[in-house]
Amino acid sequence: MNDSKIAVRYAKALFDLTLEHKALDGVYDDMKIINQLCSMHEVKEVIENPVIPVSRKKEIMLALAGKGLNNLTVTFVNFVFSQGRGSHLNAVSRNFISLTRRHRGIRQVTLTTAVPVGEKIKKELAAVAAGDTGTTSEFIEKVDASIIGGFILRVDDTYIDASVRTRLNKFSKEFTLAGNAKE
């Protein structure tokens, strides 16, 4: 079966189960933690290592996630590993988070700047992202000095790159092309 289909099906099954048990809030928070963990290089190596027994992989993942996990999350993680699908846990958690955000009308707003921004700007951006739709926003701020200045704004799948780095790269390409055209 296609890897993406597996992740989508497992995420949808978990999502439906959490709605049925009215445990969406807890499992959503847990899946965000699991997604962060599965994105770490060291955790990926453990999950994909064929020498480590599946039972040990489950123990490691649950220990890293912490003791406050919802019972449904613990049962689900155990199930995923017992089915030999531990390597899909990152994609499953990402799909579950996406389903939950869509269900709740949450827009993810990511702002990347060269220096930290103030609370006033964060609130204004979250309000603009919500717009007239009445949705809420999950705001993520990233600081990346390599963009030099300006900002990169991502709202769900919409991407605006107004960074100085991008502008400089664009000018550099234009000058290179103009120089090559004269020769």
Q: Determine the Cα–Cα distance for residues 164 and 39; give it in Å rounded to an integer.
A: 28
Strand segments, DSSP code E, in the chain are 106-113, 136-143, 150-155, 158-163
pLDDT at 122: 80
173 and 132 co-located in one domain? yes
15 and 97 co-located in one domain? yes
CATH of the domain at 62: 1.10.520.20
State the Rg of the chain over Cα: 21
Query: Is the distance from CB of 69 to CB of 62 less than 8 angstroms?
Result: yes
81 and 131 co-located in one domain? no
68 and 122 co-located in one domain? no
Which residue ranges in the chain fall short of pLDDT 50?
none
pLDDT at 4: 84
Q: Determine the Cα–Cα distance for residues 18 and 12; give it in Å rounded to an integer.
A: 10
Query: Is the distance from CB of 85 to CB of 10 less than 8 angstroms?
Result: yes
Question: How do residues 32-78 score in pLDDT, each as one tens digit?
Answer: 999 999 999 999 999 999 999 999 999 999 999 988 999 999 999 99
85 and 160 co-located in one domain? no
Domain that includes residue 159, residue range: 107-182
pLDDT at 72: 96
pLDDT at 134: 67
